[in-house]
Amino acid sequence: MASMLWETLSAARDLGRLHDIASILIRYGFSDMVRRLGMANALEHTGRVLRWKEVGELARLEPPERVRCALEEMGPTFIKLGQILATRMDLFSPEWIVEFEKLQDRVPSVPFEQIRQQLQEDLGAAPEEVFAMLNPQPLAAASIAQVHRARLQDGDEVIVKVRRPGIRSIVETDLRLLQRLAKVIETESQEMRRFRPQEVIRQFSLSLRRELDLAAECRNAERIARNFAAHPEIVIPRVYWEWTGERVNVQEYIRGIPGRDLEALDRAGLDRKILAQRGDQAVLKMILEDGFFHADPHQGNVFYLPENRIAFIDFGMVGRLSHDRRSQVVDLLHGLAEREVGSVVEVLLDWAENAEIDTDCLKLEIDGLIDQYHGVPLKELKISAVLADLTTLLRDYQLILPPDLTLLIKSLISLEGMGCQLDPEFDMVAEASPFLRRAILARYTPDVLARRGWRAIASGLEILTDLPQDLRHLLRSARSGKLQVHVDITRLQRFGDQLDRAASRLTMGIVIAALIIGSSIAMTIGRGPVLLGLPMFGLLGFIGAAIGGIWLLLSSRRSGRNL
């Protein structure tokens, strides 16, 4: 494993970062992991020394808490990874999810003087020329960027989000190391392979690289704003594109009540029930109708405005659902809400793809899961509890959710939690039911059926049009002797395996017979070395034949056959 890791570390600049990561892991009591992953040997090739005795007090904590603390110390990339892992309830048990959710993306801010030059390059002018006021003290600072309050020359109040200088090179180094380590883990560990570490890191890399592009966040915001153009109760900050780029974006400053300040909400006379309902309907619309949703709708990303309006901010992390995936989600949620076991099982089997599972047993488990909620009034039925039980069931069966669904489940659970904080009687099932019914009915409208029909006719005509040419190729291949027919039948495979084992035994039998004959001839020769009073070569031949005979006997017994 160490040699594999060493061969993949092609860039010397990555070794310094690898040393830092390995040192942190050792300090938190994960020295065995450093050795098993080959990190130690890879570093020793370059003469870098690891201090194996540097084990801190935190090494005595429980593994989930130690991992969380180590991720925090390893920096922004690993904090983001932990936050993504907090969405993977299909992979990790609740105690791990709780610790991952504690990862806070708050770091000391970069002094304004250190970002002034970068900001001037991105704006194309000195900050003082663009802004009538720019507060050097940030409103918030995270691992990727920090936010400053400002006012444009025309008087518009805005926020200026600036990417941290040098953060891209740090993130890219970390992603290269994570990709290499994931490959080593998946290659060497059968136990870890089921977690698909390479796929998890690939999805994480795509998400993090999008988040590094601050202009992408603004494109996300404008797309969601277009989807809510007919909903004045939902506010999305305006983007000032003339000052926006990859490393900086300028957006409208939202003056409202932060989602966490419920007391201020009451003092302002806003209606909690209406806010909970509107927030829920907004997110459900994003998921079930638009297929493009805010993937982190927690209280810090929500502001409450006069007239019970709601503003969403920070669209760095969004989820995307294809039309087919939305249809599956609708079937799953409708099946859970209406307690239809068959619909739920069919969707899960589609998501499981080619996984080897006991379908009948899975159906019984899901039937039992849904039955435990039978008789519970819809008002008391919590989608978060049902989804949590469902993901636990998936984890027990070692079924991995498609990556685009993990953010969805996390968003639904966060949404219900936020709704219940606003309104203790919040009923998410009742709010979701109209969306689900509309989505199901939309499949059978005349326009949709007509489009499906035309697509089917077009596909059929295309097949008929190509048929003569395909037949011509088939006949030409047959005449030239190049026609190949591949048959994949399980019974034939087993029969081939049996023939292979039989041939191996037959070969061993021939070898044993040859040893016996050769040894018998060697015994009749009076010259040569002697062992225990017998010709040595003849004696060794008989011993080899005896060992081969015992192996052949045991092999036959294991296969359930007698010689």
Q: Within this chain, do residues 67 and 185 fall inside the same structural domain, yes or no?
A: yes
Residue 346: CB partners within 8 Å, gap ≥ 6?
A: 331
Count the neighbouring beta carbons within 10 Å of the beta carbon of residue 36: 16
> Which residue range is the domain that position 55 belongs to?
2-105+171-194
Q: Within this chain, do residues 365 and 380 fall inside the same structural domain, yes or no?
A: yes
* pLDDT above 90 for 504: no
Q: How far apart are CA 347 and CA 327, in angstroms?
A: 10
Nearest C-alpha neighbor of 242 from the set 390, 139, 129: 129
Tell me if 281 sits within 8 A of 186, measured CB to CB: no
pLDDT of residue 376: 61
* pLDDT above 90 for 162: yes
* pLDDT above 90 for 219: yes
Tell me if 367 sits within 8 A of 389, measured CB to CB: no
Specify the number of domains making up the chain: 5
Q: How far apart are CA 36 and CA 310, in angstroms?
A: 50
Per-residue pLDDT reduced to its tens digit, 452-481: 677 778 777 777 787 788 777 777 777 777
Buried b or exposed e, range 339-375, using 16+ CB within 10 angstroms: bebebbbebbeebbeeeeeeeeebbeebeebbeebee
Per-residue pLDDT reduced to its tens digit, 184-213: 777 777 767 766 788 888 888 888 888 899
Tell me if 528 sits within 8 A of 535, measured CB to CB: yes
Q: How far apart are CA 424 and CA 401, in angstroms?
A: 31
Residue 352 is assigned to a structural domain of this protein: yes
Residue 247 is assigned to a structural domain of this protein: yes
pLDDT of residue 6: 45
End-to-end CA distance of the chain: 43
Buried b or exposed e, range 52-67, using 16+ CB within 10 angstroms: eeeeeeeeebeebbbb
Tell me if 66 sits within 8 A of 29, measured CB to CB: yes
* pLDDT above 60 for 218: yes
Q: Within this chain, do residues 13 and 64 fall inside the same structural domain, yes or no?
A: yes
Flag the least confident range among 67-71, 269-273, 277-281, 335-339: 335-339
What radius of gyration do the chain's Cα atoms show? 32
Q: How far apart are CA 133 and CA 47, in angstroms?
A: 52
If you average pLDDT over residues 72-78, what whole number do you get?
Answer: 85
Residue 7 is assigned to a structural domain of this protein: yes
Q: Give percent of the chain with pLDDT exceeding 70.
A: 80
User: Does residue 400 sit in helix, strand or coil?
Assistant: coil
Q: Within this chain, do residues 145 and 248 fall inside the same structural domain, yes or no?
A: yes
pLDDT of residue 18: 78
Residue 562: pLDDT band by 50, 70, 90 thresholds?
very low
Residue 246 is assigned to a structural domain of this protein: yes
Residue 322 is assigned to a structural domain of this protein: yes
Tell me if 196 sits within 8 A of 400, measured CB to CB: yes
pTM recorded for the entire structure: 0.70
Q: Within this chain, do residues 300 and 428 fall inside the same structural domain, yes or no?
A: yes
Q: Within this chain, do residues 537 and 465 fall inside the same structural domain, yes or no?
A: no
Selected catalytic residue, list 296, 314, 331, 427: 296
Per-residue pLDDT reduced to its tens digit, 378-430: 556 677 777 777 777 877 777 777 766 777 877 887 888 888 888 888 777 77
Residue 233 is assigned to a structural domain of this protein: no
Flag the least confident range among 158-167, 218-227, 406-415: 406-415
Tell me if 119 sits within 8 A of 162, measured CB to CB: yes
296 is catalytic: yes
pLDDT of residue 7: 46
> What CATH number corresponds to the domain at position 143?
3.30.200
pLDDT of residue 34: 77
List the beta strands (DSSP E) in 253-335: 257-258, 292-294, 302-305, 309-312, 318-320
* pLDDT above 50 for 149: yes
